[in-house]
Amino acid sequence: MCAAKWSKRGFRGDREHSSRTGIARPNNVETNFYHAYASINQKLAQGGKIRYGEDEASVLPRAPRPLRIPRIGLYTGSGTSHSWLWFVELFDRMLFHDIVFLNEDMVKDGALKNLDVFAMSGGDTIRIAEGLDTKGAAELEAFIRKGGLYVASCAGAYLPLKSSKQYLDRFNFVDIKIANLSKTRPEIKRLASKATTAYGCDYVYHAVREDVLLRLTGRSPFTGVSTFLAPLYGGPSMITDNTSEVLAYYAGFTDKTQFLVNESLAQKTLIGRVAAAKTGMGDGNLYLFGPHFEHPHFPMANHLVATAIFWDMKKDRENREISEDEIILEGAAKDKLVRDIKREISNARIVSVGLEAVPIQWSIGCKIYEPEKIRVFLEAIWKRIDNLERLRRIRLQNKADEQLVDCACKVKRILRELKARIDDCLETQDIASDLFDSLRRLTMGFLQIYFNSFRCNI
């Protein structure tokens, strides 16, 4: 199969192809997806009634059902990388503000019961499975069987695939095979640390990174467009049987595609294989995306994530009561909390910017972390502090303010120690691991307050 190539100016070699396929390029129409979903969510939050495909909801397929705000759980537990922040960006831009950030303990404690949707992005699949363990797997299965929607990309897409490997064998929900699996380690052209992962006696290999071209099959609800782009960072190429619906195939490479193995193996591994699939389980569904459909630079892929959420979210969820443990901060107390967070995040950010000039990386689990990743977490907070400051009220769990500021102080302290150790040419691996874990907790804690607070200011 010949792979079409997409460049900044259009397809390489076959310009007409782009118009034939109706490929959606980044433009104002795509950017307006965010506005369209934001309008839906805003109207629903204000108590408005909308039906699928009608009026403000014309971005969605038509159906004789009323829309409601989805309550979405986002997995941020151990084993996750920074890519869950891309889901955060998508949710924030589209005003999906009923978000619950979940770690493995919360999943095991039954937090999925209150959700319509559970989203999982990238990371180290085995560590994620290990963290969730048998109890987490059972909770996830029960959630989906009772009508919940599981939306996942990359590591989150590998998780429910059939596997006999320890920890993963608890999540054998879907009869889909991994196409990028090999008995022998293929010859690697570049980025060796990101190109393969041991998988039992086999190897999962990642043929390419960055943008790939995908072709939709036209199955509902992914209709109205033929091809689009999304970035691949280690996600699966899949082989489905007739129990799953294929939503999209890998269709080509682009000028931005980085080949980690030779091009012919990459073609064989990806082109014509399944990039996105939907599988039913009990009353619920799983949407599995090899590429990161939630990546913020890909509006069309983001639109498909939002469509999936609205289309297949749990149909009958009871409204959640506000926890008695929640408090509202206003006035000086709110200002003080924002100022305290701002102080510590600024201090941490200043150190992290300086670290980006240092040629260092850390191996945590089976993932490689560079200093640039530190700021990805901090910027996710920093860019939202002013919004939080402008809100009249902040809603949070009792003591969450103290915990958040303590965690921010800890991140700052670790970063300063890390910088001092680097200056003194000392080992940093041990504290780097602690740093990324603390960053994850800090960001999760902040964002939970951020999203909760939006809902109490409507």
Partner 1 sequence: MDYLSSNKILIVDLETGQISEDDLDDELVGRKIGGVGITSSLYQTHKDKEPIVLGTGLLTGTMFPASALGVVSAKSPRTGNLAHAPFTLKAGMELKYTGFDYVVILGRSPKPVFLWLHDGVADIQDASDLWGADVWATTDSIRRAMGDDLIQTLAIGPAGESGSDLAQVCINYWASGDCWGFGKLFGEKNLKAVALRGMGLLEISEPEDFVDQCFDVFDKIKGGAFAGRRGIEDILSEMGEKDASEWLAPFIHRHSACYNTPYSTNTFVYLNEDSKTLTEPVEPEPGFLINDPCALLAFKRAGFSAQNACRVLKACSKYGIDPAAVAELCEKSGQKDTEKIEQSFSDLKGPVAIPDGGKFSSWSPAQPLFSDFGVSDRSAYLAWWTRRQAVAYLFGIHPIFVNMSPELSEELMIEMFNKGTGLELSQESLDTVIDDVCS
Would you tell me which residues interact with partner 1 (CB under 8 A)? 339, 342-343, 346-347, 349-351, 353-354, 415-416, 418-420, 423
What single letter denotes the amino acid at residue 363? S
| Cα(36)–Cα(38) distance, integer angstroms | 5
Q: CB 346 → partner 1: shortest distance, Å?
A: 4
Residue 262 or 347 with smaller CB distance to partner 1: 347
397-405 long-range Cβ contacts below 8 angstroms, 24+ apart: 397/323, 397/325, 397/326, 397/327, 398/325, 398/326, 398/327, 400/445, 400/448, 400/449, 401/329, 401/337, 401/449, 403/445, 404/337, 404/341, 404/442, 404/445, 404/446, 404/449, 405/337, 405/340, 405/341, 405/344
Distance CA 78, CA 167 (A): 14
Q: How far is the CB of 355 from partner 1 (least distance, A)?
A: 8
Nearest to partner 1 of 270, 408 (CB atom)? 408
Q: Which is nearer to partner 1, 329 or 345 (CB)?
A: 345
The DSSP annotation for 357-400 comes to TS---EEETTEEE-THHHHHHHHHHHHHHHHHHHSSEEEEETTH
CB of 313 to partner 1, least distance (A): 38
For residue 398, the minimal CB distance to partner 1 (Å) is: 26
Fill in the DSSP letter of residue 315.
S
Residue with Cβ nearer partner 1 (386 or 437): 386
Cβ at position 340, least distance to partner 1 in Å? 10
Q: How many CB atoms lie within 10 A of CB 1?
A: 11
**Min separation Cβ 347 and partner 1, Å:** 7
Cβ-based nearer residue to partner 1, 316 or 423: 423
Residue 411: CB minimum distance to partner 1, A: 12
> Where do we find the tokens 């109890």?
135
Nearer to partner 1, 146 or 342 (CB): 342
Whole-number minimum distance, CB 90 to partner 1, in Å?
A: 24
Name the minimum Å distance from CB 194 to partner 1.
28
Is the CB of 54 or the CB of 406 nearer to partner 1?
406
* Distance between CA atoms of residues 29 and 311, nearest Å: 21
**What distance separates the 2 farthest-apart alpha carbons in the chain?**
66
Q: Which is nearer to partner 1, 383 or 399 (CB)?
A: 383
Q: Could you give the CA distance from residue 394 to residue 392 in angstroms, rounded to a whole number? A: 7
Please name the residues in contact with 307: beta carbons below 8 A apart, sequence gap of 6 or more. 59, 60, 61, 221, 222
Q: Which two tokens stand for residue 24?
A: 């959606």
CB distance 112 to 149 below 8 Å? no
Distance between first and last Cα of the chain: 52
Please give the structure tokens belonging to residue 181.
């699996």
Pick from 191, 194, 160: which is nearest to 176 by CA?
Answer: 160
Of the pair 65, 383, the CB lying nearest partner 1 is at 383
Nearest-approach distance from CB 423 to partner 1, in angstroms = 7
